[in-house]
C-alpha cells in the first residue's frame, strides 16, 4: 500500500507542477451523475482524460453498488419501504504516511463503512471501522498532525444523535472486535456560537475505554475572519485519562489561507503539554499543510511538512512530513 501511496503522491506532485506552468482552463467532466459529477476541472491533470473518466466512472459504479446493498438490507429489515430518502451509505479508505527524522517511515491504511438505513434509522447510524473514530477526534496529534501510526482496532459503533437547543449531542457505544470483545462509550456535547467578529466552538466529551479507563476531552476553539482569504483559529484542548492519571494539552493557533474552491493552506504552531512527572511543555510543532480536493466527494489529499521540537530530544528541531490520502465511495 505504501508503494501505491507514493505513486499517487508523485502523480499529484506532477499535477501541481503542471498547474504552476500553464493557464487554468476549466474542462467539463465527461461523467453524468447528479451527486458526484464535477462542475469543471480546474487546471490540467497528469493522467489522460480517458483514464481519468474511467476512474470517476468506476468510483460512481462502486458507490452505487454499496448503496444498493444497503438499501436492500434496509427494506428487508423493515419489510417494506417507508421513505424515499436517498441512501447515503459510504465507504472511506484512508492512507497515512509519516516520515520523521530519526524515526524512519510509518505507513498505515484504514477503512470505514458508514452504513445508513433510512427506513430503520431516525437519529442513529451504524459504522464499521478499522480504528476508533471517537479517539481520533480527540486532540491535534491524533488529527491532521498525526505523528504516530494509527492503531488498527476493528470494531462497530452505533451513533445516536440529538440536538438539545443549540447543543449537538451524540452517544456512541463501540464494540472492539478483538479477543476478548471490548466495549467503549463516548458521550459528546458540542456547539458553535457565531458572533459578529468571531466564533466559539466549545466541545466536551466523556468517554470510557476498557484499556485506558474513564476520562474526558474538552476543547474551546475561537475562529476569526481576518479577510476574504485568511482566517485565524485559536486552538485550546485537553484530554484526561483517569487510569493513567494522564493529562495532555494542546494550545496554539492556525492561520488558514483560501487558495481556490479546491485548495487551501494552513500555517500552524501548536504547543503540547503533559502532567507527568509534573506539568511541563512536552513538545511544540510548526507545520504548513497543503490540502487539495482532486475529485469532489471522491478523492482528496494533504501534504504537511513540519518541524517537531520535543523535550526528549532537547527541543532540537526534527523535520518530518505527513501525507494523508482519502478515497471515498
- Residue 159 near residue 127, CB atoms below 8 Å: yes
What pTM was computed for the model? Answer: 0.66
Predicted local confidence at residue 35, as pLDDT: 41
Instruction: Give the CATH number, domain containing residue 93.
Output: 2.40.160.40
In three-state secondary structure terms, 231 is strand
Predicted local confidence at residue 277, as pLDDT: 87
Predicted local confidence at residue 10, as pLDDT: 40
Cell of residue 321, nine digits:
512530513
Strand partners, 256: 231, 266
Q: Which helix (H) or strand (E) holds 94?
A: strand 90-100
Predicted local confidence at residue 237, as pLDDT: 92
What sections of the chain are H helices per DSSP? 2-21, 49-78, 133-136
Q: How far apart are CA 107 and CA 3, in angstroms?
A: 10
Strand partners, 207: 186, 215
Domain count, the chain: 1
Pairs from 47-55 (Cβ < 8 Å, separation ≥ 24)? 47/11, 53/29
Encode the chain (329 residues) as per-residue pLDDT tens digits.
Answer: 434 343 444 434 344 444 344 444 433 334 344 444 444 444 444 456 777 777 777 777 777 777 777 666 666 655 666 666 676 777 788 888 888 887 878 887 877 777 666 655 554 566 666 566 666 666 655 655 666 666 666 666 767 777 788 888 888 888 877 777 788 888 999 999 988 889 999 999 999 988 888 999 999 999 999 998 999 999 999 999 998 899 999 999 999 999 998 899 999 999 999 998 899 999 999 999 999 988 777 788 999 999 999 999 999 999 999 988 888 87
Backbone phi, then psi, for 4, in 5-degree steps?
A: -65, -45
Predicted local confidence at residue 38, as pLDDT: 43
User: Containing domain of residue 210, as a range?
Assistant: 2-328
Amino acid at each position: 500500500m505504501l508503494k501505491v501511496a507514493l505513486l499517487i503522491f508523485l502523480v499529484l506532485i506532477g499535477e501541481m507542477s503542471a498547474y504552476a506552468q500553464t493557464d487554468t482552463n476549466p474542462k467539463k467532466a465527461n461523467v453524468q451523475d447528479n451527486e458526484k459529477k464535477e462542475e469543471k476541472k480546474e487546471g490540467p491533470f497528469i493522467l489522460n482524460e480517458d483514464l481519468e473518466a474511467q476512474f470517476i466512472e468506476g468510483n460512481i459504479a462502486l458507490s452505487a453498488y454499496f448503496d444498493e446493498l444497503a438499501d436492500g438490507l434496509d427494506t428487508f429489515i423493515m419489510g417494506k419501504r417507508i421513505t424515499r430518502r436517498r441512501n447515503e451509505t459510504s465507504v472511506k479508505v484512508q492512507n497515512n504516511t509519516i516520515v520523521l527524522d530519526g524515526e524512519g517511515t510509518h505507513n498505515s491504511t484504514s477503512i470505514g463503512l458508514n452504513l445508513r438505513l433510512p427506513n430503520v434509522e431516525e437519529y442513529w447510524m451504524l459504522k464499521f471501522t478499522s480504528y476508533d473514530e471517537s479517539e481520533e477526534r480527540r486532540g491535534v496529534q491524533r488529527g491532521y498532525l498525526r505523528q504516530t501510526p494509527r492503531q488498527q482496532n476493528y470494531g462497530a459503533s452505533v451513533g445516536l444523535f440529538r440536538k438539545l437547543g443549540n447543543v449537538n449531542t451524540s452517544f456512541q457505544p463501540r464494540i472492539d472486535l478483538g479477543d476478548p470483545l471490548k466495549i467503549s462509550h463516548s458521550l459528546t456535547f458540542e456547539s458553535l456560537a457565531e458572533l459578529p467578529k468571531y466564533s466559539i466552538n466549545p466541545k466536551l466529551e466523556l468517554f470510557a475505554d476498557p484499556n485506558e479507563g474513564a476520562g474526558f476531552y474538552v476543547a474551546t476553539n475561537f475562529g476569526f475572519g481576518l479577510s476574504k482569504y485568511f482566517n485565524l483559529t485559536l486552538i485550546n484542548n485537553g484530554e484526561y485519562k483517569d487510569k493513567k492519571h494522564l493529562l495532555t494539552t494542546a494550545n496554539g493557533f492556525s492561520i488558514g489561507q483560501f487558495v481556490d474552491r479546491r485548495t487551501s493552506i494552513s500555517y500552524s504552531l501548536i504547543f503540547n503539554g503533559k502532567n507527568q512527572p509534573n506539568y511541563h511543555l512536552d513538545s511544540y510543532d510548526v507545520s504548513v499543510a497543503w490540502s487539495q480536493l482532486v475529485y469532489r466527494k471522491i478523492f482528496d489529499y494533504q501534504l504537511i511538512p513540519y518541524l517537531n521540537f520535543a523535550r526528549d530530544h532537547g527541543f532540537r528541531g526534527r523535520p518530518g512530513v505527513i501525507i494523508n490520502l482519502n478515497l471515498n465511495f
